[in-house]
Amino acid sequence: MRIVIVFESMFGATEKFARAIADGMAVSAGAEVVNVDDAPIDLTGVDLLVVGGPTHVHGMTRATTRQSAADQVTYPMRSKTGIREWLASLGPLPHGLAVAAFDTRIDKPRVFTGAASLGVAKRLSRLGGRLAAPAESFFVGTEPVDVGPEPGEPARAEAWGAALGAALRRTGS
Ligand SMILES: Cc1cc2nc3c(=O)[nH]c(=O)nc-3n(C[C@H](O)[C@H](O)[C@H](O)COP(=O)(O)O)c2cc1C
């Protein structure tokens, strides 16, 4: 079973969540966790594709919001490009490919924060992916800007990964 988790991350929180999701999947070969900067375009042979990124201005990042993130710290961003751009570069997904989307965002009602995962899930569906789970958000703190995951959230991501892995095994992929 081949699982690919593509993440975009500025300060590192979304990468941590991507790795927690992979840990939860408990597949013998291990899920591949790939920075969007190095993400493949050809997804032939993949059984499950998980895509996640930070929520910026209610949705997926853009070059301008990534620059704004970079301006707030003194170290380089984990990702240089975005999942918005990567998704736009993909052709139709391999037939029946199971997909799932997640984002990171502030722990406030979604009506105030938005959620990048909704747009990711929509794009993945339009490309022919079969959603294996509803889009999910994992929460980060706000002070300082790069404080990272809220307590308990990596464990929730691990559990989400475990449920996805179990669902994939049940469908026999
Ligand atoms: C430019 C910018 C815009 C942001 N806009 C939102 C937003 O609209 N909603 C939200 O919940 N969080 C927002 N955030 C917080 C990010 O979601 C948070 O920085 C991100 O989840 C951290 O993940 P990372 O460490 O992987 O970059 C914003 C952050 C930045 C830098």
> How far is residue 169's CA from residue 32's CA, in Å, rounded to a whole number?
17
45 Cα to the center of ligand 1, angstroms: 33
Asked if pLDDT for residue 173 goes beyond 60, the answer is no
Q: What CATH number should be reported for the domain holding residue 22?
A: 3.40.50.360
Residue 41 pLDDT more than 90?
yes
Percent of the chain past pLDDT 70, that is, above it, reads 97
Q: What is the mean pLDDT of residues 11-17?
A: 98
Give, using CA atoms, the residue closest to atom 15 of ligand 1.
Answer: 105
What is the CB-side half-sphere exposure of residue 146 using CA atoms within 13 A? 16
- Which residue range(s) make up the domain with 62? 3-170
What helix, strand, coil percent values describe the chain, rounded to 5?
35, 20, 40
Average pLDDT over residues 47-68: 98
The answer to whether the predicted template modeling score (pTM) of the entire model surpasses 0.85 is yes
145 CA distance to ligand 1 middle (Å): 8
CA of 86 to the centre of ligand 1 (A): 19
Q: pLDDT (tens digit, 9 = 90+) per residue, 17-35?
A: 999 999 999 876 689 999 9
Number of domains in the chain: 1
pLDDT computed for residue 95 by the predictor: 93
